[in-house]
Each structure stands twice: as C-alpha cells, then as structure tokens.
Structure 1
Amino acid sequence: MSYTPDTTRIGFIGLGIMGAPMARNLLKAGYDVTAYNRDSSKTEAFVKEGGKAAGSIAEVAAGVDVVITMVPASPQVEEVVLHEGGVLDHLREGGLVIDMSSITPQTSQEVANAAKEKGISVLDAPVSGGEAGAIEGALSIMVGGEQDTFEAAKPVFEALGKTIVLCGPHGSGQTVKAANQLIVAVNIEAVAEAVVFLEKSGVDLTAALDVLNGGLAGSTVLTRKKAGILAGNYKPGFKIDLHHKDMGIVTDAARAVGAAVPAGALVAQLVAALRQQGDGQLDHSALVRGVKRLSGESGN
C-alpha cells in the first residue's frame, strides 16, 4: 500500500499559518484534498486554489483515505480526533490519521491507542521549518509510528518536506519536536542577545550578522530571521503563543524522564514573559524585544 496522488483522497484539518501552504502543496502534488477550518473564509480561499471544502469534521473525514491534522495544541487534537463526532468516528477502517500538530507525546500515544481499536493507523508527524519551509515544501518532518505505515505515507510527506525521518514508535515524533523547539528557542534568544549587544556597541548590525552567519555562529534561525529582525518586522511565521506552549511541553517531558534543561527552562520563562507583555501574537524572533526591554530600551 502506498498513499500516492493517483489513488489517495486527503482530508486536511487546520488551515493556519502552516496548514494552508501545506494543503496547497498537497494540491500541487496532485492529491485530491478536502479541507476543514473553523474560519470558513480560509476554506473558501482554498477552494479558489483548486481544493474542496467540508463544513464539518464528519464531512472531511467520511470520504477520504487519509486525514491530516494541523491544529494548535493537544486539546484541539483531542477535540477533532478523539471526541464524539471526531475523525475516529467517521474515517473508514483501514484509513490513516497523520497528526502534524505540535502536541505532547502522551496525546499522540492516546490517539494511536484509540485509533488502533477502530482499525485506523496513526502517525505523529510534527514539522520544523516555519512558514517559509511550509510554503517551499521544505519542512523537516519527524515521525512516530510503525515502519510500514511510515513507508506507505512517504509520498504524502514528500509533497510537504525534504527531511523525512521515522524517529521511533508513537510519540517519538513529538519528543523530537520538543527537542527541536528547545534548540530553536535557545538559538533565537542567543541571536536576540547578540543583536542588542551589537546595536548598543554601535556596530553595523547588517554587516555583523552577515559575517556571523558565515561562520560557526551561523544557523538556520539566523538565516530565516535576520531580515525581519533588521527591519523590526515580527510578522508571525511562528507565534510566541505557540512557542510558549511548546516550551511547556519541553520542560514537562524533560522532567518526566529526569533530563536537566537549564537553558531551556530560562528561555521558557523569557518566552512566557514576552507573552505576558502582550507580544504573544508576534513571531518568536520578537525575543529581541524582550532583550531590549531588559537592556533599558522600549522593545520596539
């Protein structure tokens, strides 16, 4: 079995910053995609691009082979997949649920167990790469689940990303995503501190970031976020609110296995503080604003 464009119908739930371009890339790859989103204006836009729209979770799940969910957090996954009237109540036996949200490993395991009772396969497959990676179809996809299910779903993943890795059993994808969010948050905070340090020192910031990004200090974070930081533009590619949620997952999961994450715990507090200051809807690179405030500036 292989979920190829010529044989597979996909239901897509969640047309947000990441979900909308991902669903579009599935269309471009030739898949028959039906989308559901609470904000119907987003499904209307998707229809104009060649997709189909469903008016409910039941409708989106009933007529497809694969359901992909891309929603904010564990409660939303539980609502759309596990609750009465959710995906598991309407997807055919033998179907596949691919949850690409960033949630707790425990929730992924609960979804897999509930689906197994109904003869439905599950993969947890969170992504990294931000809005740009979603638009470009260049996401890194970290997957948890069974090997044969992963192999069958490979064509779907290849329409969405470039680095696609099975990390282990159910929940493993989410554990790796938590580690990803730890690395990204600490990296952004380091960039933010360097930016403020450089600005206060009177250095040409553009030149400094260019040369830093060409050496060992270089990173995908700096490459992706540099232009926005230089322009003071924090239009969200990944919101502070969502990274706050993810840092909670990181610290809880690390505590559960006895792993020390001191830098992660500190940055989790800085992300939480930025959120409380009203910046939750900004891009996570807005950590620069938090460092500026700590340095006696306005944070603009």
Structure 2
Amino acid sequence: MRFANFHDKLKVNIYTKETDRMVTASTASIGFIGLGVMGNSMVKNLINAGYSLHVYTRTKSKAEEVLELGADWHESPASLAQASDVIITMVGYPVDVENVYFGDQGILNHTKEGAYVIDMTTSKPSLAIDIYEEAKKNGFTALDAPVSGGDIGAKNGTLAIMVGGDKEAYHDVAPIFRVLGERITLLGPAGAGQHTKMANQIAIASNMIGVCESIIYARKAGLDAEEMLATISTGAAASFSLSNLGKRMIDKDYEPGFYVKHFIKDMEIALESAHNMGMPAPGLELSLNLYKDLADMGEEDSGTQALIKLLAHEAEMSL
C-alpha cells in the first residue's frame, strides 16, 4: 500500500480503546530516544501496536529487551533522526534535551523535512518553545508532550499526555499518542504541555507529604495502615499518590516508578517558572527541600514514595 504523504501514513492507524485493537496499515517509522523506567514500556507498546521502531539510548544494554522485540538500534540521535518519520524523546534532564536536540549529532540538524519531533521529557517550557521555533525553521514540526502516570501508566498505555504545539500536528500524531495514553489533551501552543506538567507536579508535591504523614499518623495511632488506606482512598482524600504510592510505602517497596532525583528536577523547574511569573509557591518549596534532604540520605535513585523514610525518621518512628 502506498501513501501520498506522511499525513496519510498516520491517519490510517485506527486505534479503539473499547476493542483494544490497532489496525496497522501504516509504514510510518518511529524513532525513540531514552529507554528508562518509562521509555522502555512505551516502546514495547508501540511495537505491539505494529509500528517499526528505531531506538537510541546512551547505554545500549538498556535497549536489549526492545531490540529482541524487533526495534532497530542506532549509534547516534542523528542516525535515528534520518531513519524516522516521528521522533520521540524521553530523557532525564533539560540539559539532556538540549544535547539530544541541539548538539552536533542532535536531531534538529538531521531530521527529515516534514517529520515530527515530540519531546515527552518533563522539561522547561522555554526550552520547548526554542525547539518548536528551531524545528519550524528547518521544515518540520515539534510538539512538547510530557506525561503523568508513572511506570504503571507507561506499562498499561494509560498515561496522561499533556501536549503543546500546533493543532494540525497534534491531530496528525494522535494515533501514536493513543497507543501510549488515555487522557490526551492539546493545552495550547508550544510550551503549554510543559506548563501543564509543572502544574501537575506542584499538585503532587504537597500531596506526597500528606500521604506520608497520613500513614505515619495511622501507625502512631495504632491503626491498621492498609485498612486506613483502603478506607480513605474511597473518599475526599483519594488520589493516585494515596492509592498507588501509599500502598508501596506500607509494603516498604521503594523501587522507582519515578526517581527522587527526577522529581527534584521537576520541582526545581516548576519553582523557577513560578518565580518567573511572580508567584509564591510555599508548598512546592517545602516539598523540594524535603526531597533534597531525602536525596542527601542516599535515596536519589529510589522511588518518590521513599519520602516516608525521611518523615518517619523525623517522627522518630521505625518503619
């Protein structure tokens, strides 16, 4: 089957959540850079949906699982960009985003005309705008599309995807987004996706303190922490952090669905953005300081639920 253009390639992918079925008549290839906790699962979902995947990550051993599933390995972002119709990046920090996009082997210098680049890293809104403008100069389109939902959402294809950029481009790549997530929203022009993710992280920051203190309080009061959690999760206190990460806290499971070090990075970006807008954020500042203390305890590679270790220690309570 031949396609008149790339837009047609993407439009023939029809994904229906109700039937859990992807009709794959597309020849569009996807390049994916960054195979961490979430990226690996996202690539698997795209392969299972029938897309051909090109992958690159700094440590090739992290790609072994998806290479066995049929993904093609590339030695540089430049090589991957030249082979892909859509390029998705999911890396660690804004400096990593800058290197992947603007470096000598960066994708902005090597992407094919008419292609799409999508940064799903949580990064600076200002950087998302820079990427969008540079991509436009070079004849292709950029979207910022950070996600929320952690390792569980990545595995299950149920991520919330927050998109900034042009409406036409958003609709063009929507079939790909629908493989990766459920709540997918175009929030505005370039940078709007990243601003929305900052709002998301601000809401989570103070909530995580509350979840930890709730569990510590229950234990000090002699309650069954699991019963307490199951009960209040059905009421006004309900949240993803309470239901999912609260259970991990009780089970002393500190494996990273989302790293402490990456949450610190996100909060620093959010606080900088808030200050640039003249907005005080006392709850965010408190959470950031607590997580920095947690990292100083050697927990930067733990999951964000490890915050309970710090607060339990301060409460002079054994977990």
* Same fold (TM > 0.5): yes
Q: Is the aligned partner of 1:262 residue 2:282? A: yes
Q: Which residue of 1 aligns with 2:27?
A: 7
1:18 is aligned to 38
Q: How many residues align?
A: 299
> What is the distance in 2 between the residues matched to 1:84 and 1:226?
44
User: Which of 94, 97, 100 lines up with 2:117 in the alignment?
Assistant: 97
Question: Equivalents in 1 of 2:206, 2:267: separation in Å?
Answer: 11
Residue in structure 2 matched with residue 293 of structure 1 by the alignment: 313
Query: For 1:184, what is the secondary structure of its paired residue?
Result: helix
8 Å contact kept, 2:229–2:243: no
- Report Cα offsets for 1:144-168 as digits up to 9, x if no partner: 0000010101001001000000011
- CA RMSD of superposed structures (Å): 1.1
Aligned to 1:232, which of 252, 256, 266?
252
Counterpart selection for 1:178 from 189, 198, 208 = 198
Structure 1, unaligned runs of 5 or more: none
> What corresponds to 1:277 in structure 2?
297
Match of 2:171 in 1: 151
In structure 1, give the amino acid aligned to 2:171. E
1:70 is aligned to: 90
Runs (4 or more) in structure 1 with deviation over 3 Å come to none
Counterpart Cα distance in 2 of 1:253 and 1:174? 10
Superposed displacement of residue 53, structure 1? 1.3
User: Residue 218 of structure 2 aligns to which amino acid in structure 1?
Assistant: L
Q: Which of 83, 87, 90 lines up with 2:107 in the alignment? A: 87
Q: CA deviation at 1:44?
A: 2.3
User: What letter is aligned with 1:164?
Assistant: I
CA distance in 2, matches of 1:287, 1:8: 42
Q: Which moved more, 1:44-53 or 1:137-146?
A: 44-53
- Give 2:215's match in structure 1, choosing from 195, 203, 224: 195
Corresponding position of 1:53:
73
C-alpha displacement at 1:72, in angstroms? 0.5
Q: 1:133-185 CA deviation, whole Å, 9 max, x = no partner?
A: 00000000000000001010100100100000001110110000011111112
Structure 1 Cα separation of the partners of residues 44 and 101 of structure 2: 22
Match of 1:166 in 2: 186
1:80-119 C-alpha deviation (Å, 9 max, x unpaired) = 1111221111110111100000001011111111111101
String of CA shifts for 1:112-134, please: whole Å, max 9, x gaps.
11111101100000000000000
Any unmatched runs of 5+ in structure 2? 1-6, 14-23
Q: Is the 1:46–1:53 Cα contact (8 Å) retained in structure 2?
A: no
- Structure 2 CA distance, aligned partners of 1:141 and 1:264? 22
CA distance in 2, matches of 1:264, 1:201: 28
**Residues 162 and 184, structure 2, Cα contact 8 Å, conserved in 1:** yes
- Aligned to 2:118, what secondary structure does the other structure show? strand
C-alpha separation in 2, matches of 1:223 and 1:177:
21
Alignment correspondent of 2:132? 112
Inter-partner Cα distance in structure 1 for 2:112 and 2:224:
59
CA contact (8 A) 1:123 1:170 kept: yes
CA drift at 1:226: 2.9
Q: Tell me how far apart the structure 2 counterparts of residues 44 and 58 of structure 1 sit (CA, whole Å).
A: 20
Letter of the 1:239 counterpart:
Y
- Secondary structure of the residue aligned to 1:188 is helix
| Distance in 1 (alpha carbons) for counterparts of 2:313 and 2:149 | 28
